Amino acid sequence: MRLFSRFSRGVAIACVVATPNLVLAQNPPLRTISKLDLEYAEPFSCISGIRELSDGRIIVADVREKTVQLIDLKKGSSMKIGREGQGPGEWTTPMGLLAAPGDTTLLWDPQNQRFLTIHPDGSVGKEVKVDLGGGNRGAIMASFPRGADAMGRLYYQGSSFVVNEGQTTQADSAPILRYDRRTAKLDTLAFIQLPKSDIQTSGGRGNSMVRVTGPNPFVAQRAWTVAPDGRIALIHPEPYRVEWIAASKARTAGPEVRYERLKLIEADKAPVQTPNCGVSISFGGGASGERTQIRTSAVAGGAAAPPRTDYPEYKPPFLARYGAPIVAPGGELWVGRSRAPNDPPVYDVFDARGQLSARVQLPKGTRIAAFGNGTIYLYRMDDDDLVYLQRYRLDQAR
């Protein structure tokens, strides 16, 4: 059963041909998710991963508290999974959870540069290592997994940076990579164009350190994510539309979506309330013929970003600061829309054709953490920056 299939009943997607090559999709009515199913009583500091199992239990990783738990929300009980360390069955930085076939889960541990397998009963299985290589002439292939499909294949965004003779440069695009764990085969599915970053290099050949300052967060950027069936959703900001890339690399482009252009105001530049956590990455080496070395470390927070003057006049239709696009189990793509600073979150929902099938408003002050079987998990932060996990039923949307 497809999530939100009832939303599209009686809602015609009206299209008008403005020019021979331009099709505009009309926005469907706004639906709201507001009826809380339950909220877990114990707070978190930073939910870095969440995965719902087939019986409704969830696995939650908190990278700041250094915990991985198997939680029964109905009973309010929890069980610790693994322990901190570098040995068998141990993790150092529980950064992400990816769904593997069945109820098996992969815990991404960047500090140890490996995955740990978590069984449905909460026990920890064997480790999984993925070597994407350092690329030719110091090209950095990828570091962090961006998703997994139902077949257990892993998806990465390769870096656009190349280190050669101690110098780092940036290409205008990066590859979207698929790694099959059964065959160790690495495929390039597509390339995504990226805005330029500011690069500063220190040190000498073979031991260079690179600091990268990304583009202005309000600059229009393409985004992508992966669906359970292995399709790639590529979201374009200008014009705003969704393009699906099948496993065969065939492309299906949806129509351009109308949206209200929001002017960037001073209040937009204030930090968005999100958990104060993350992982830093640095890399070095990469002289001709050598592999590029990647180093990661966990951080509990970050220094304030330096002042910027390169702000655009208008905000793009979607922004990474409001959450990455995500595909629900039924295959629908959810894209968080740009909004005024105090407005509740609104998501555009796209179908497999790239058509805008629904618009959904979440409770104010919440963000999407994950989807389950007919459920959506949100988190909210209180005034003490504690994070509370909530579950809502998608069929309760009105």
- Contact between 85 and 94 under an 8 Å Cβ cutoff? The reply is no
Q: For residues 236 and 339, give the distance between their C-alpha atoms in angstroms, rounded to a whole number.
A: 18
Query: What is the pLDDT, as a whole number, of residue 210?
Result: 66
Task: Identify the pLDDT of residue 247.
Answer: 85
Cβ distance 294 to 143 under 8 Å? yes
Q: Which residues contact 372 (CB under 8 A, 6 or more apart)?
A: 52, 56, 58, 329, 391
Which pLDDT score is estimated for 398? 85
What's the confidence (pLDDT) of residue 277? 61
Query: CA-to-CA distance for 54 and 99, rounded, in angstroms?
Result: 11
Distance CA 304, CA 266 (A): 17
Pair of tokens at residue 384: 């003490």
Q: What average pLDDT is seen over the chain? A: 83
pLDDT band at 165 (very low <50, low <70, confident <90, very high): low
Residue 128, φ and ψ in degrees, nearest 5: -130, 125
Encoded tokens for 300: 């509990």
Cα angle 104, 149, 43 (rounded to 5 degrees) comes to 60
- CA–CA distance, 185 with 154 (Å, rounded to integer): 11
Residue type present at position 103: D
Residues with Cβ within 8 Å of 384's Cβ and at least 6 positions away in sequence, in order, are none
Lowest mean pLDDT among 13-17, 131-135, 219-223, 265-269: 13-17
Per-residue pLDDT band at 59 (split at 50, 70, 90)? very high
For residue 118, what are the contacts with CB-CB under 8 A and spacing of at least 6? 59, 68, 81, 82, 97, 104, 105, 106, 107, 124, 125
Which of the two residues, 397 and 6, has the higher pLDDT score?
397
Taking the alpha carbons at both ends of the chain, their separation in whole angstroms is 19
The two structure tokens encoding residue 230: 């292995």
Rg of the Cα trace of the chain?
21
Least confident of 33-42, 191-200, 255-264, 335-344: 191-200
Strand partners, 57: none
Mean pLDDT of 354-380: 96
| Res 213: pLDDT | 76
DSSP 26: P
Q: For the ranges 182-191, 280-289, 385-394, which has the lowest average pLDDT?
A: 280-289
Look up the pTM and report it: 0.85
Q: How many CB atoms lie within 10 A of CB 149?
A: 22
The Cα 39–Cα 56 span in angstroms is 14
52 — pLDDT class (breaks 50, 70, 90) = very high
Residue 44 CA to residue 63 CA, distance in Å, equals 10
Q: Which residue has the tokens 């988190």?
A: 379
> How confident is residue 19, by pLDDT bands cut at 50, 70 and 90?
very low
Residues 333, 233 contacting (CB under 8 angstroms): yes
DSSP codes, 103-148: T-EEEEETTTTEEEEE-TTS-EEEEE-------GGGB----SEEEE
pLDDT at 345 over 90: yes
Query: 3-class DSSP state for residue 13?
Result: coil
Alpha carbon distance 109, 118 (integer Å): 13
Which pLDDT value is given to residue 24?
52
CA dihedral for 335, 370, 193, 169, sign (positive or negative): positive
What does the pLDDT look like over 208-217, one tens digit per residue? 666 777 788 8
Letter for the amino acid at 94?
P
Per the CB < 8 A criterion, the answer to whether 223 and 143 are in contact is no
Closest CA to 153 of 126, 187, 127, 124: 187
